[in-house]
Amino acid sequence: MFGVMGVVIFLLAVVLIRFRAKPGDRTIPKQVEGSNLLEFIWTAIPVLIITVLSILTVRLTFSMAQDHSDDPNALKIQVIAHQYWWEFRYPDLGIVTAQDLYIPVGKKISAELWSTDVIHSFWVPALTGKMDANPGALLDGKRQNANRFSFDAETVGVFLGKCAELCGPSHALMEFKVVVLPEDEFNRWVEAMKKPAPKPETTKAAAGEQTFQKNCMACHALEATDPANRPGPNLANIGNRLTIAGVLPAGDDAERAASLRRWIEAPNAVKPQNDVPGTVIMPPFKDKLSPEALDQLVDFLMLQKVDVAPPKAAAR
């Protein structure tokens, strides 16, 4: 865009300088009524550009809409949108995670997408276009209104994803990450996620586990193999999350722990929730837990990680 703008400004400057009125020159410039060749050129070039862009757009749009659910070589995932977080299920692998979607590089991803509340839209600008997540119930074992699409990633790295459909007060904060790993590293991540949740090895972390069991277990699972549909995100591998709650920084363990505590203390101050009656929201724990208990809980949650860390590069 800037290149085209530069060319236009340059040509405009040339015309203004070269054909400006000279002092004392009262002659009438040569009158040019038109040029069939020029008119053809400046009509043909935009038509050609639009035609090429249209072909590329149509091809990409139809490739995204392809259903690869019967492709034995495709990785099947289920993308479930909630206000205001994302759940990712791998039905063939038997694991569940949230906020960070891990996929192998160069492999076709077959995704089934729906919502548990209102309409959302899955969008990873660097990898794929937008696709709506519609609410829908199960009927005869089949999800109603589910959208199916496919995409892949050609390079290893971390890619930013967002909700692209206005869905409530925290719509702009409904972000997630796509973590693309080499296939062998992805397979190691899958096997690590299937293992039982790490057990605390210190008195402080053990006390945090008890706090978790009393206050958090009703809404959150700790193991990726837990298939239950809980109200809150699965916390498996939360000690490696690239962000906390999708928006709080987690560049290293210290920052991740600080963000975890900030979220647990006052989630509504970070990501405003719905006040609609019947909506399940995370309560603030700042006044429910002592500072010591909060520290213990954060210590315990920081243990929940696998030995396959995401790339350090910034999200694209």
Q: What is the pLDDT of residue 98?
A: 95
Exposure string of 289-306, with b = 16+ CB inside 10 Å and e = fewer, is beeebbbbbbbbbbbbbb
List 143's β-bridge partners, or say none.
138
Question: Which tops the pLDDT comparison, 151 or 71?
Answer: 151
Same fold, 75-182 and 203-302: yes
Confidence band of 261 (pLDDT split at 50, 70, 90)? very high
CB atoms within 10 A of CB 152: 18
Map out the domains of the chain as residue ranges: 75-182, 203-302
Q: What is the pLDDT of residue 244?
A: 94
pLDDT tens digits for range 42-97: 899 999 999 999 998 888 777 776 777 778 889 999 999 999 999 999 999 999 99
Confidence band of 279 (pLDDT split at 50, 70, 90)? low
Is residue 115 within 8 Å of 149, Cβ to Cβ?
A: no
Q: What is the pLDDT of residue 138?
A: 66
pLDDT above 90: residue 164: yes
Is domain 203-302 annotated with CATH 3.40.50.720?
Answer: no
Q: What is the pLDDT of residue 29?
A: 76
pLDDT tens digits for range 283-300: 899 999 999 999 999 999
Residues contacting residue 56 through CB under 8 Å, at least 6 positions apart: none
Instruction: Give the per-residue SS3 of 124-182.
Output: ECCCEEEEEECECCEECCEECCCEEEEECCCCCEEEEEEECCCCCCCHHHCEEEEEEEC
The Cα 116–Cα 31 span in angstroms is 68
Angle at 152 between CA 110 and CA 133, to 5 degrees: 50
**DSSP 8-state class, residue 236:** T
Give the residue carrying structure tokens 């939360």.
238
pLDDT above 70: residue 118: yes
Torsion, CA 67, CA 123, CA 239, CA 231, rounded to 10: -80
Q: For residue 80, give the nearest of 55, 53, 116 by alpha carbon.
A: 116
Question: First vs last Cα of the chain: how many Å apart?
Answer: 21
Question: Which tops the pLDDT comparison, 1 or 165?
Answer: 165
H-type helices in the chain, by residue range?
Answer: 2-18, 36-64, 183-193, 203-215, 253-265, 267-270, 291-302
Q: The whole model's pTM is what?
A: 0.81
Percent of residues, the chain, with pLDDT higher than 70: 94
Average pLDDT over residues 103-132: 93
Q: Is the bond preceding residue 90 a cis peptide, omega within 30 degrees?
A: no
The Cα 164–Cα 174 span in angstroms is 9
Q: What is the pLDDT of residue 60?
A: 77
Q: How far is CA 200 from CA 203, 204, 212, 248, 298, in A?
A: 8, 8, 12, 25, 12
Sheet holding 128-133, edge to edge: 100-104, 175-181, 157-163, 120-124, 128-133
Average pLDDT over residues 211-218: 93
Is domain 75-182 annotated with CATH 2.60.120.680?
Answer: no
Q: For residue 224, give the nearest of 93, 99, 96 by alpha carbon.
A: 96
Q: Quote the distance between the C-alpha of residue 148 and its chain's center.
A: 17
Q: What is the pLDDT of residue 140?
A: 66
Indicate the angle between helix axes 203-215 and 291-302, nearest 10 degrees. Answer: 100
Q: What is the pLDDT of residue 124?
A: 95
Mean pLDDT score across all residues of the chain: 89
